[in-house]
Structure 1
Amino acid sequence: MIKILVIDDDCQMLELICDALEQSGYYVEGESNPLLVDSKRCQQYDLLLLDVMMPVEDGFSLCTRIRDSVDCPILFLTAKTEETALIKGFGLGADDYIKKPFSIGELRARVNAHLRREDRQPNHAMTRGGVRFNMHAKEAVVGETAILLTKSEYAISEYLALHAGQVFTKDQLYEAIFGYDAEGEPSAIAEHIKNIRGKLKTVGLNPIETVWGVGYKWQKENAR
């Protein structure tokens, strides 16, 4: 289920937005204190709604604090008089804004539109099946434990996790990871998968599923 986090210090507005989006079928959480929101928490959600004008920490500051570690869309909630500051917001990494006052229909339409076109791949980090991939550092972490994957094992794991739920043959994985011109055998993928599973088993995880007669997939129900 798609998860949305709404951050607004106005509790009545917060309740209104959460109720409206829940009626659209989303799982929605509200937070009135932006200081309780960090990048780790935000990585659990598919979309963030941030009020701009909050006394403890404004939406611009919060966006700056979390954007480098969060890949999902960020939408600002802003009053009409703040429109001149929107350029600043986009520069900080916001994807869109919704002017206050807004109708419930507009709110739902904007949120739905961003979620529909949110097919971009994560650039910084993602969590799939309990495994956090730090994509710049090329490292996999479970909780506080680093999973010591080889370069090839990491590449296979990241590729499968990025496409959670999609089945790939050994040939498809080999070409995606090593290229069409690489020297080697696609059968090596099976050995890599075996090693990955062994390392993840030590932390109680088994997200890679064998689809007999076809190939492998990262279990979609574990993706977030």
Structure 2
Amino acid sequence: MANILAIDDDKDILALIRNILQRDHHLVSIEERADMLTIDNVQGYDLILLDVMMPEMDGFTFCKQIRSFVDCPILFLTAKSDEEDIVQGLMNGGDDYITKPFGVQALSARVSAHLRREHRDKAGSKQTISGFTFDFDSKEVWFAEEKLLLTKNEYKICEFLARHKGRVFTREEIYDEVYGLDGNALHSTITEFIRAIRKKCKGCNEIPIKTVWGVGYKWE
């Protein structure tokens, strides 16, 4: 059983979400407006479902505001299918998206998949790899005294590559690690995430993720 928050300005959608997830024995809280919520209102949840198109404040903006304060998966609910919009949402801290209209089984399966991945056991607590210190419990990365301000998916990519230092992974293999085989995002988002990671690492004068042209990426 998980504690889930659904935010959507459509009351019918919220009722459908609540019925589906309560059937799966989850606790479901619903909100119709993102702009009325504070950081305290969104903490303590195991997963957040967030509509993209809402009045006053859209889901992308709200996700960007709360991402550094909440560690749970954030799944966008969207009628948009444009690649640029989807990439924008994922780069703002979202973990995945569900396209409207969605079916009962699709929503249930997507939520269950993210909850399972969220509870995977991580071996060890802290480890320093190529000068970067990983705290696997808090899911943070430090270089010297500086903490890298990574989004959830950026952290997943860094940990995955660092744990397999020196091994080359294709973009598709990295995608499967981040989203799982049932992922619904775009493979091109991996390229965008790695570009963002490198930009954040430049402040440390280190770029640990190297491109192996024609193959993929590795952590050196």
Q: TM-score, normalised on structure 1?
A: 0.53
Query: What does the per-residue CA deviation read over 1:140-161, in whole Å, with 9 as the maximum and x for residues that have no partner?
Result: xxxxxxxxxxxxxxxxxxxxxx
Are 1:29 and 2:36 an aligned pair? no
Is the 2:81–2:99 contact (alpha carbons within 8 Å) kept by the matching residues of 1? no
RMSD: 1.7
CA distance in 2, matches of 1:22, 1:122: 29
Is the 2:4–2:45 contact (alpha carbons within 8 Å) kept by the matching residues of 1? yes
Is the 1:50–1:77 contact (alpha carbons within 8 Å) kept by the matching residues of 2? yes
Is the 1:8–1:51 contact (alpha carbons within 8 Å) kept by the matching residues of 2? yes
- How far residue 122 of structure 1 moved from its aligned partner, in angstroms, is 3.9
CA distance in 2, matches of 1:71, 1:19: 25
**Equivalences for 1:28-67 in 2 at 5 Å?**
28-67=28-67
Aligned to 1:110: 110
**Equivalences for 1:63-212 in 2 at 5 Å?**
63-119=63-119, 121-123=137-139
- How far residue 41 of structure 1 moved from its aligned partner, in angstroms, is 2.0
Between the aligned residues of both structures, percent identity stands at 50
Is the alpha carbon distance of 1:122 and 1:32 closer, same or farther for their aligned partners in structure 2, counting shifts above 3 Å?
farther
Give the letter aligned to residue 49 of structure 1: L
- Report how many residues are paired: 125
- How far residue 123 of structure 1 moved from its aligned partner, in angstroms, is 4.0
CA distance in 2, matches of 1:2, 1:50: 16
Secondary structure in 2 matching 1:117: helix
CA distance in 2, matches of 1:63, 1:5: 13
Is the alpha carbon distance of 1:88 and 1:108 closer, same or farther for their aligned partners in structure 2, counting shifts above 3 Å?
same
- How far residue 101 of structure 1 moved from its aligned partner, in angstroms, is 1.0
Secondary structure in 1 matching 2:67: helix
CA distance in 1, matches of 2:68, 2:98: 22
CA distance in 1, matches of 2:114, 2:14: 20
- In structure 1, the gaps of 5 or more residues are 125-135, 137-224
Is the 2:63–2:94 contact (alpha carbons within 8 Å) kept by the matching residues of 1? yes
Aligned to 2:5: 5
Are 1:17 and 2:1 an aligned pair? no
Give the letter aligned to residue 74 of structure 1: I
Query: What does the per-residue CA deviation read over 1:151-176, in whole Å, with 9 as the maximum and x for residues that have no partner?
Result: xxxxxxxxxxxxxxxxxxxxxxxxxx
- How far residue 44 of structure 1 moved from its aligned partner, in angstroms, is 1.3
CA distance in 2, matches of 1:15, 1:21: 10
Bigger Rg, which one: 1
CA distance in 2, matches of 1:94, 1:122: 18
Q: TM-score, normalised on structure 2?
A: 0.53
Is the 1:71–1:122 contact (alpha carbons within 8 Å) kept by the matching residues of 2? no
- How far residue 36 of structure 1 moved from its aligned partner, in angstroms, is 2.5
CA distance in 2, matches of 1:86, 1:71: 20
- How far residue 39 of structure 1 moved from its aligned partner, in angstroms, is 2.1
Give the letter aligned to residue 47 of structure 2: L
Is the 2:63–2:92 contact (alpha carbons within 8 Å) kept by the matching residues of 1? yes
Query: What does the per-residue CA deviation read over 1:178-208, in whole Å, with 9 as the maximum and x for residues that have no partner?
Result: xxxxxxxxxxxxxxxxxxxxxxxxxxxxxxx
- How far residue 110 of structure 1 moved from its aligned partner, in angstroms, is 0.2
Give the letter aligned to residue 74 of structure 2: I
